[in-house]
Amino acid sequence: MANPITDLPLYERIPRKNKLKRATELVILFLLVSLLIYRLRLIHAHGFVWLLAFFCESWFTFIWILVMNAKWHLFDNITHPDRLKTRIHELPPVDLFVTTADPVLEPPIITVNTVLSLLALDYPANKLACYVSDDGASPIIFYSLVEAIKFAKLWIPFCKKYNIQTRAPFRYFSNKEFETSSDVSSKFQNDILHVKEEYAQLCRKIEAAEKHSDQFEFSKEFSAFSKLDRRNHQSIVKVIWEKKDDLADGVPHLVYVAREKRPQYPHHYKAGAMNALARVSGVMTNSRFMLNVDCDMFANNAQVVLHAMCLLLGSENEREIAYVQCPQHFYGDIKDDDPFGASSLKVLQEYITRGVGGIQGPFYGGSGCFHRRDVIYGLSPNGAMIEGKKYLGNEMQVIGMQEKEGLKEKFGCSTELVNSASQTLLGSHEKLNCPNDISRSLTIATHVADCIYESDTLWGKKIGWLYGSTAEDVLTGLQIHASGWRSAYLTPRRSAFLGCAAFTGPAVMTQQKRWATGLLEILFSKNSPIIATIKGNLKFRQCLSYLYINIWALRSIPELSYVVLPAYCFLTNTYIFPKVSENAFWIPISLVVIYNLISLSEYFHCGFSVKVWWNNQRMSRITATTAWLFGVLSVLLKLLRLSDTVFEITSKDQGGDVTHTNPGQFTFDDSPIFIPGTAIVLMHITALVMWLLGIHSQGQSALGAGLGEVICSSLVLLNFLSFLKGCFGKGSYGIPLSTISKSVALVGFFIYFCRRAS
């Protein structure tokens, strides 16, 4: 007889009702097609300008089809961690990966808070091991972690004793959550004051170490950092804390990893760091599951691992879900006057990611993701192929010497790593807890972190995080989906992780350029979603969803062209939009109104205001015509073999809310990335003034620019208002004179071209 308790599912997939939204999206598609038909019927009489407009509008129609495909089926995954005890007799161990690369752009206190939040998770401590990858090989990071583990022995018991929900101390104390606690006992008050003072002392120690890093004493455990060159050094692997018992309470393992770097060997940025962590953890703890987070993405939900296990263990024979992706939310309330559009990611995740979750699963987002180690090692849903033989990961099997030699060719020469990989691929995990003697594996762990170890192996090619793109996360997720796996989207009521949003104009532009560059690299690689659909197991609709993000950079070309067209019309006295006297005039008007209404409704659904929506719409136009344009140029130079793409790190907040003198204003620097936006503003102002003064070609005055072009130009200026203000701003709020000068030169060239064309 079936047990009604044990038969309850660990998670449920619930579809959302969105018939009205689908109908509205179809109306927009109908209007886009109508505009194309109108354009096509008259294109022969208007020449190149209308041909260019037709190309741009065809591209926008294609993008809209991709958006509709991604949003068509929205799903919610409801997890039930309370049912794990009745379904799972023994929780599996989990390795936790934290990556940092620069102690200046990514301050140590941020990494410390992320590590503390992970060590304090509501999960048996003997089943957790935290590995910190420091690609900057900074003694300050190592020192901070050594001091943090001392505080962790106080912080973790405190959190679990009083059921503290916010496990990152800087957020707990900055939110003054303790002041509103229902526990008003004298014992709690004494404990909280003691913990708060200890945390303040920890911060002071780290701050002092940062200020006086030149006076750092490189002795004993710090001797490995003496005279170290961050770009040319040996591997450093140190066990900062080792949990010696098998008890569920206490502090989990904490391991510091600075992989070897040599100028003659490519280090592959974050993907290389993740592969080093996979190998080091493979010979130390070899947990079945792995969680990776960026150094600024702390665990905000103490039960996040339990929620993830519901999805990973709840599928039939565990042969369905390869990884579980959590949304990237940001700490601190997003202000209405936020000029950088940080809330757009939340809206994107709410609709696009949930929609893709109804196809083959969400994209891998690079942080806040739970992986199955066997999938990262190349296991397909049908099992592992080793020397021509198939092994199913859920069967206890033994492989022979010939097969082990085959694994050495894939995983490297380390016998210990090959043995742990074979256990992983065959599902023969003997230990249910993390080993309590990981220090004995230090020598081999240091060896597998060497840069030469990956030579002549499949690391970065078929195994681990894939190389070849600065968007290594999406590339790796794509490869997993192409193997036939699904992924799942985890959105517990309390946000799983919270991170730091880019808070300056240059940081936002750098981040957007990096994303656009990496995604476009994937499109032109052998791992393209199109090839994965033809030769692999990537579903067609999933391929379309990948294309939606892969072509972000390419969108800059039609968007920039369409933005320039109204100014061209003013200078040449031509037109591209229907006249008011034509019925077709209402097609673009209806498009703009309906699209913005549906977009506004999505922001309302996510709890944002009209001002937040407008800032995001404005920022979308800015990034598309600036950062994404430079992404295209980066990939073009790479394809022409003139230069290689570079992984650019964005600066992180020091662990609190960012405050600026003028928080609602855009910030600039002397980067050339701001030239297109500045040129667009100057171009439209110049063209509009010249048109109003009648300084334009008279060849087509009867059919010259009209209301449509004026409306479009006004919308462009509104979207780029930050750049107009920047022309008169000072300091970081002003556009440098060199950028303005280059923009003026571009505008002058454009006017000259328009004069010649007319």
Q: 696-739 pLDDT, tens per residue?
A: 665 444 456 678 889 899 999 999 999 999 999 898 899 999 99
Per-domain residue ranges of the chain: 19-72+546-641+671-757, 84-501
Q: How many CB atoms lie within 10 A of CB 498?
A: 21
pLDDT at position 1: 44
Strands 11-15 and 75-79: antiparallel
Across the strands, what pairs with 78? 12
pLDDT at position 161: 92
pLDDT at position 396: 43
Output the average pLDDT for the chain. Answer: 88
pLDDT at position 690: 87
Q: Is the pLDDT of residue 393 over 60?
A: no
Range in 113-127, 361-375, 632-646 with the lowest mean pLDDT: 632-646
Q: Which residue is it, tokens 């742990």? A: 420
Instruction: Return the higher-pLDDT residue of 375 and 339.
Output: 375
Q: Which residue is it, tokens 């690079």? A: 366
Task: Indicate the pLDDT class of residue 230, thresholds 50, 70 and 90.
Answer: confident
Q: Dump pLDDT digits (tens) for 496-548.
A: 999 988 778 888 899 899 999 999 999 999 999 999 999 999 999 999 999 99
Rounded to whole angstroms, the Cα distance separating 537 from 534 reads 8
Range in 52-61, 278-287, 393-402, 690-699 with the lowest mean pLDDT: 393-402
Chain centroid, CA 501 distance in Å: 11
Range in 118-127, 188-197, 571-580 with the lowest mean pLDDT: 571-580
Rounded to whole angstroms, the Cα distance separating 303 from 308 reads 9
135 annotated as a binding-site residue: yes
DSSP string, 655-707: SS----SSTTS----S-GGGHHHHHHHHHHHHHHHHHHTT-S--TTGGG---H
Cβ 361 vs Cβ 77: under 8 Å: no
71 annotated as a binding-site residue: no
pLDDT at position 436: 80
Task: Indicate the pLDDT class of residue 198, thresholds 50, 70 and 90.
Answer: very high
DSSP state at residue 650: P
As a whole number, mean pLDDT of residues 26-49 equals 92
Candidates 553, 592, 582, 345; CA nearest to 469 is: 553
Q: Dump pLDDT digits (tens) for 651-699.
A: 666 554 444 556 667 889 999 999 999 999 999 999 989 888 877 665 4
With a pLDDT cut of 70, the percent of the chain lying above it is: 89
Does the annotation count 473 as an active-site position? yes
Q: Of 95, 374, 473, 653, which residue is the catalytic one? A: 473
270 annotated as a binding-site residue: yes
Range in 20-34, 85-99, 221-235, 532-546 with the lowest mean pLDDT: 221-235
Task: Indicate the pLDDT class of residue 395, thresholds 50, 70 and 90.
Answer: very low
Task: Indicate the pLDDT class of residue 648, thresholds 50, 70 and 90.
Answer: low
Give the dihedral of Cα atoms 140, 146, 149, 150; nearest 10 deg.
Answer: -110
Candidates 509, 530, 516, 532; CA nearest to 676 is: 509
Candidates 666, 345, 337; CA nearest to 507 is: 666
Q: Is the pLDDT of residue 42 over 50?
A: yes
Range in 77-86, 178-187, 275-284, 391-400 with the lowest mean pLDDT: 391-400
Does the annotation count 135 as an active-site position? yes
Range in 6-10, 87-91, 387-391, 411-415 with the lowest mean pLDDT: 387-391
106 annotated as a binding-site residue: yes
pLDDT at position 506: 87
Q: Is the pLDDT of residue 216 over 90?
A: no
As a whole number, mean pLDDT of residues 27-31 equals 97
Q: Of 95, 135, 374, 450, which residue is the catalytic one? A: 135
Q: Which residue is it, tokens 């328009």? A: 754
Characterize 68-95 residue by residue with b for buried, 16 or more Cβ atoms within 10 angstroms of its Cβ, and e for exposed: bbbbebbbebebbbebbeebeeebbbbb
Rounded to whole angstroms, the Cα distance separating 711 from 571 reads 16
Q: Is the pLDDT of residue 560 over 90?
A: yes
- Alpha-carbon Rg of the chain, whole angstroms? 28
Please identify, in words, the CATH class of the domain defined by 84-501: alpha beta
Q: pTM of this prediction?
A: 0.92
